[in-house]
Amino acid sequence: MQKKAAILQDISCLGKCSAGVALPIVSHFNIECALLPTALLSAHTAFPTYTCMDLTDMMRKTMQDWRSLDVCFDGFYSGYMLNCTQIALAETFLDTLCRDDTFVLVDPVMGDNGKAYAMLSEAYAADMRRLVSRADIITPNLTEAALLLNRPPKLSGYTEADIRELLLSLHAQGAKCPIITGVSYAPESIGAAYLENGVYHYISDKRFDHVFCGTGDTFAAVVFAAMLQGSCIKDAVTLALRVLRKAMEGEPQWYGINFEAALCDGTFLAAPNN
């Protein structure tokens, strides 16, 4: 049976992130996607100007409709959400439209490069802490890991011991399997560190200097889709890093990475059970 995934993300009409990245990637793994949009933006928030429509009411009504249709999802992946009400709706979604064995990935999108996004408040971070404790996998970057732990974000200078401590603290706070992205111990490489059954692992790939909105969304979408199709964490993370490398080779595009190139390269996204 084809797997069904629910994706809670914004739609950014210009720029490559969130639903614009998640839908093509997850579909590429032969997974049927249902999108629950959290917001509609004229462009993502890294553009100098943008207009944002809050879709909280639409989320509530859509969930009512889906419940009346008796739909139930094999996978749940949440990303950019605007407010605490949306986080609460995500929890209700898990309670009413998912099963106990639904695979859950929460990307706690709250900031990047040491800076919190505009929607962040203490209440938002506290509610996000509750949501991440419901997930099988969480994929914070270093800034988001610090925010989840209520610490000031630090940009660089992390040692392996620091990263282990961050992962163990996230785990102690309820995250089953935290994967921290953007971890670099050498100038030429960058990757992801994670805890699996309490054991530390680190996988890296080539580092690129340019920084793009949507990189974390691409990583999370590949890990989500590969694991929903049966990959282990190690294979899913390795694949996601290879996709990022392919997407960042060539000309830098400031509005987003070239994930399409990776999608068109058949060997990149060959999921084990497709």
| Residues at the interface with ligand PXL (CB under 6 A) | 10, 12, 17-18, 41, 44-46, 80, 109, 213-214, 216-217
Closer to ligand PXL by CB, 12 or 229: give it: 12
Closer to ligand PXL by CB, 74 or 217: give it: 217
Own/partner pairs, 169-174, CB within 8 angstroms, 24+ separation: 170/132, 170/138, 170/140, 170/145, 170/195, 171/195, 171/198, 173/129, 173/132, 173/133, 173/148, 173/149, 174/129, 174/132, 174/133
Closer to ligand PXL by CB, 132 or 195: give it: 132
Shortest distance in whole angstroms from residue 226 CB to ligand PXL: 19
Residue 181: which of 140, 144, 151, 146 has the closest Cα?
A: 140
Shortest distance in whole angstroms from residue 45 CB to ligand PXL: 3
- Give the residue closest to ligand PXL by C-beta: 45
Number of continuous H segments (helices) and E segments (strands) in the chain: 9, 11
What's the token pair of residue 116?
């919190």
Cβ pair 237, 255 in contact under 8 A: no
Shortest distance in whole angstroms from residue 274 CB to ligand PXL: 26
Shortest distance in whole angstroms from residue 135 CB to ligand PXL: 17
Closer to ligand PXL by CB, 182 or 216: give it: 216
Shortest distance in whole angstroms from residue 119 CB to ligand PXL: 10
Closer to ligand PXL by CB, 127 or 144: give it: 144
Cβ-based neighbours of 60, under 8 Å, separated by 6 or more: 89
The DSSP element (H or E) to which 184 belongs, if any, is: strand 179-186
